[in-house]
Amino acid sequence: MSRHKFFYVIALALIVALSCPLSVFAQEKVIKIGALYPMTGRAGLYGLDSVDAAEMAIEEINSKGGVNGYKLELTNTDSKAKPDYSVMVAKRYITQDKMHFLFGVVSSAVGLAVTEVSKQYKKIFIGTDHASTQLTTDKFQPYYFRVSNNTFQSMAAGALYLKELQQVKPWQTIAYIGPDYAYGHDQWEELRYNLDRFGVKYKAVGEYWPKLFAPDYTPFITSIINDKPDILVSGFWGGDTVAFIKQAQPYGLFKKTLYFHPDAGGNYELMSAMGTELPEGLVLSARHHNNWPDTALNKEYVEKFFKRTGRYPTYAAEGAYAGIYAIAEAVKKVGNPDDTEALVKALEGLKIQLPEDPEGFTSYIDPATHQVVQVQAIGVTKPNDKYPPAKMMLGDWKIYKAEDLLPPKDYADRQKKK
C-alpha cells in the first residue's frame, strides 16, 4: 500500500469513527424501569407527580455516576387506571422491552392485576402508591415489594387515634364510605379488625359504596346525614376525596359528624384544590406530608420538587421517589440488575432513609411480607398558607410507631382462609 493510500485509509477510518454513536463501540449499561402511571382523569395528578419524582431521583443518582456503572432509565406508559390494559403493557415491558423492573402503580385494582404478571414472569414489581393490603397478605408473591404504607397500617393508626379520641371526647357510632373495590373494602374491614383488636367499643350505623370516580355523591351524603354517625370514616383517594368534600359542604355534613380519613385524606391535592373551602377540624392522614416531619431531608425533597415542577408534591410523588432509591440500593448490593433472585434477597430487609421518616427512624422492608415499615402521622386541618395555593394544612399531629401498625403474625393466614 502506498504511503498516500495508507493515510487516506486512516483518515477515512477516523471520519467513520467520529460519525458513529458511542454506543457502537461501548454499550452504555442501563437499569431499565417500566412504569405504569395514570396521566389523565382524577388520578392523573398522581401519575404526573410520580413520574416527576421518579425522574428527580434518577437524575440525583445518575449525576453521581449511577449505580455500579449503570445508569437508571424510566419508561412510563399511561395505565389509564385500567387493569386489563396495564397487564398488556406489563407483559410487553418484560417480553419485548426487556425491563429489569416493573414500577408503579396508583390504583390497587391495577396493582393486583400487575402483581400476577410479576409472579408469572418472575420479574420484580416495585409498588409505589397503591395500598391494598391483599398485595402483601393473601395475594403476596415473592417478586412484589411495596415502598409506601398499606391500608392495614393506616387503619391501625386510625384505630389507635379513635381509641385516644374516645377517652377525651366520647363517641359511640361510626359509619364508613369508600370506593366499591378492593382498596375501599380493605380499609373498612381492617379498621373494624383493629378497633376490636385495641378494645374500642363502637356501633357501626352505616356503610356506603360508591363506584370509583363517581360523579355524584348526593345520595350517599343524605343517607349519612340520616344515619347520624358520630364519626364518618372515609376511604376515598385523589380527586374522589376532593369531589366528596366539595359536594358535602353545602349540606353541613362536617358540622354534624367528625370526618376521619386516615389513609389518603391528608394528601396535598386536597389542600391545594380546595383552598379556603376546606373545612377546619377534619382529621386526616396520608403517606407523605409536605409539612411533617420537620427534617432537613423532607424540606430538601419538597423544595427540590417544587423548584422542578412549580407545585408541591402529592404523597404519590414520595412513593415513586422512594421506589427509585430502593432499586438503586438493591442493585448496588447485588452488582447488576440482571440477577433477579439476588435482587429479591437484597430488597428483603432493605433499610432506606426517606423524606417521610422522622428523626431517629429509618424505613425498612419487612422480609416476610415485602411491605415497607414506616411511622404514620395523623393531623387536623388548620389555617396555613405556607404551601400555596393551599390555605389549610395539617397540624396538631399524633404520631404512631411503625411496629405498632403491622398486622399480627396470624393476620395473613386469617386472610388466606377466608
Whether residues 39 and 127 fall in one domain = yes
CB count, 10 Å around CB of 383? 11
Whether residues 305 and 172 fall in one domain = no
Whether residues 165 and 266 fall in one domain = yes
CA distance 264 to 35: 22
Residue range 124-183, pLDDT digits in tens: 999 999 999 999 999 999 999 999 999 999 999 999 999 999 999 999 999 999 999 989
Q: Provide the β-strand partners of residue 233.
A: 176, 260
Instruction: Tell me whether residue 68 is in a domain.
Output: yes
Whether residues 264 and 381 fall in one domain = yes
Position 410 confidence tier, pLDDT thresholds 50, 70, 90: confident
As a whole number, mean pLDDT of residues 341-368 equals 98
CA distance 391 to 74: 34
Whether residues 265 and 277 fall in one domain = yes
- CATH number for the domain spanning 345: value is 3.40.50.2300
Whether residues 178 and 217 fall in one domain = yes
Instruction: Tell me whether residue 350 is in a domain.
Output: yes
User: What's the pLDDT score for residue 416?
Assistant: 61
User: What's the pLDDT score for residue 27?
Assistant: 62
In contact, 149 and 131? CB cutoff 8 Å: yes
In contact, 317 and 37? CB cutoff 8 Å: no
Q: Provide the β-strand partners of residue 173.
A: 203
Instruction: Tell me whether residue 18 is in a domain.
Output: no
Instruction: Tell me whether residue 20 is in a domain.
Output: no
Backbone angles phi and psi of 285, in degrees to 5: -150, 170
Whether residues 172 and 272 fall in one domain = yes
Instruction: Tell me whether residue 111 is in a domain.
Output: yes
Whether residues 166 and 278 fall in one domain = yes
CA distance 181 to 210: 9
Whether residues 108 and 241 fall in one domain = no
Range of the domain at 277: 152-286+375-416
Whether residues 185 and 277 fall in one domain = yes
Instruction: Tell me whether residue 103 is in a domain.
Output: yes
Whether residues 368 and 386 fall in one domain = no
Residue range 241-300, pLDDT digits in tens: 999 999 999 999 999 999 999 999 999 999 999 999 999 999 999 999 999 999 999 999
Burial of 154 from C-beta contacts in 10 A (0-12 / 13-18 / 19+): buried
Sequence-distant (6+) residues with CB within 8 A of 365 are: 145, 147, 326, 347, 348, 349, 350, 371, 372, 373
CA 82 from chain centre, in angstroms, equals: 17
As a whole number, mean pLDDT of residues 350-369 equals 97
Beta-strand relationship, 351-352 and 363-365: antiparallel
Domain count, the chain: 2
Residue range 338-348, pLDDT digits in tens: 999 999 999 99
The C-alpha cell at 245 is 368534600
Instruction: Tell me whether residue 126 is in a domain.
Output: yes
Residue range 22-40, pLDDT digits in tens: 443 346 899 999 999 999 9
Q: What is the DSSP string of 365-386?
A: E-TTT-BEE--EEEEEEEE--S
H or E element that contains 305 = helix 296-309
In contact, 263 and 187? CB cutoff 8 Å: yes
pTM for this one?
0.90
Whether residues 255 and 385 fall in one domain = yes
Instruction: Tell me whether residue 360 is in a domain.
Output: yes
